[in-house]
Amino acid sequence: MGRGDGLILLDQEATWTGVGALALSAFLLALGIVLFARWRRVAEREVAQIQATGERTEKLLTELSRALGDARDERGRLEALGELGTTLDLDAALERALEVVSQLVDADSAMIVLRQEEGEAITAAYGLTAEESARDLLGVPPEAGKARAVKLGYLYTAEEAANDEFRLSGGVAVPLAGAHGERIGTLAVFWRRADRALTDDQLGRFEELAATFGPALENARLYSEARRLADTDPLTNLRNRRYFTERLRRECARARRYGRGLGLLLFETEGGLDDLFSAGERIQGAVRSTDIASHLGDGRFAVIMPEAGHADAERLHRRLQFALGGRVDDSDGVRLHAGLVELRSEDDAAMFLRRAEDALGRAREAVHEPLAAVQRP
């Protein structure tokens, strides 16, 4: 084979090599396109899955957040019910219920009115001034079976509105029911500055709170009434000896702890009293609202006078003498023999009472000189 034939063979080999290279490039390109398309489909699915997962996660987070909010509300109701259910102190139960209701319904203040079979209703307020509490804020409370709730709105003169921006603007009142569904009172919440519109769901939650607190408050009220009857002397409607003994011990401890005065008046009438119940009413009308008047039995009475001294006890002695139908310095009418003492730093409750009894004994002996019954501290 000559040189020319060799060149032809080389050209043919180069041609086939080029064709092979082109074919390989085309194959690789096609493979790349296929792989890219497959990768794209996979990527799109993964992106879609990621998006779906994100949406599900966001939905779950929203539902979880709502559930946690409901759980917090429910936990608040359960905790409040637990605390109310375990306390039989009516004042503590009312205070706790008002505080929880105000927080859970985002109100500025609240009020509870509990009915009693006898006497005035019990009223407790949270976030209201003394003046506001004294007003008839509830209007006409909703009666069971007649109204679901009462929406309250308050209108003011231009002068009142300008001088008091923090005034009550509105509120809502719902019935309180006992364990058997009987109406026992009213629960109300109030807002200041701007009135609010309650949705049906919000009103439903408020009613749930009222249904939760009603039986617990009624139990506390019944216990308080039973305790009051147990501490009351049936002959005079004053406190009895058992309550007097316990209260004297507490008041002595409190006076010593805070360095405050404490007076004690122990008295009996010469010849006794014909109508002890009427005498109890007159005694209760003569003492201060902070004083504790008790019947110790056998016509003997005692008045514990917190933050009072000897001079206060002397004035009370004279008021009681007049209230019971006589005069301190006159033998006509009812005559009181009284022992007046003021707490000393070394006194405990037993010593304090013993000093009052000694003073009463001296007063009984000096019937013609009633003022000799006064024992100076």
% residues pLDDT > 70 (the chain):
68
Q: Which residue is listed with tokens 């004690």? A: 264
Q: What is the mean pLDDT of residues 160-172?
A: 79
Mean residue pLDDT across the chain: 76
- pLDDT score, position 53: 42
User: Binning pLDDT at 50, 70 and 90, where does residue 64 land?
Assistant: very low
Q: Does position 65 have pLDDT exceeding 70, yes or no? A: no
Q: Does position 346 have pLDDT exceeding 60, yes or no? A: yes
Q: What is the mean pLDDT of residues 5-11?
A: 45
Q: What is the DSSP string of 278-345?
A: HHHHHHHHHS-TT-EEEEEETTEEEEEEET--HHHHHHHHHHHHHHTTB-TT-SSB--EEEEEEE--T
- pLDDT score, position 326: 59
- pLDDT score, position 154: 83
Q: Burial of 185 by CB count in 10 Å (0-12 exposed, 13-18 middle, 19+ buried)?
A: buried
Q: What is the mean pLDDT of residues 314-324?
A: 89
Q: Quote the crossing angle between the two packed helices 90-104 and 3-86, to the nearest 10°.
A: 150
- pLDDT score, position 227: 82
Least confident range from 87-91, 184-188, 297-301, 304-308: namely 87-91
Q: Does position 314 have pLDDT exceeding 80, yes or no? A: yes
User: Binning pLDDT at 50, 70 and 90, where does residue 106 land?
Assistant: confident
| Residues 176, 154 contacting (CB under 8 angstroms) | no
pLDDT in tens, 227-279: 888 899 999 999 999 999 999 999 999 999 989 999 999 998 876 677 888 99
Q: In this structure, what are the phi and psi dihedrals at residue 88, rounded to the nearest 5 degrees? A: -110, 10
Contacts for 327 with CB less than 8 Å, ≥ 6 apart? 321, 333
Q: Cα–Cα distances in Å, from 157 out to 23, 131, 138, 161, 191?
A: 97, 18, 20, 6, 18
- pLDDT score, position 71: 40
Amino acid at 303: V
User: Binning pLDDT at 50, 70 and 90, where does residue 24 land?
Assistant: low
Q: What is the mean pLDDT of residues 88-110?
A: 84
- pLDDT score, position 19: 46
Q: Does position 144 have pLDDT exceeding 60, yes or no? A: no
Q: Does position 315 have pLDDT exceeding 50, yes or no? A: yes
pLDDT in tens, 118-134: 778 888 889 888 778 77
Amino acid at 239: R
Q: Report the C-alpha gap between 80 and 87 in whole angstroms.
A: 11
- pLDDT score, position 348: 93
Q: Report the C-alpha gap between 275 and 359 in whole angstroms.
A: 26
Q: Does position 204 have pLDDT exceeding 60, yes or no? A: yes
User: Binning pLDDT at 50, 70 and 90, where does residue 369 land?
Assistant: low
User: Binning pLDDT at 50, 70 and 90, where does residue 54 land?
Assistant: very low
| List of domains in the chain | 86-230 (3.30.450.40), 241-373 (3.30.70.270)
User: Binning pLDDT at 50, 70 and 90, where does residue 198 land?
Assistant: confident
User: Binning pLDDT at 50, 70 and 90, where does residue 6 land?
Assistant: very low
* pTM of this structure: 0.54
Give the 3-state secondary structure of 210-225: HHHHHHHHHHHHHHHH
Q: Cα–Cα distances in Å, from 244 out to 119, 223, 271, 318?
A: 24, 20, 24, 22
For residue 293, count other CB atoms closer than 10 A to its CB: 25
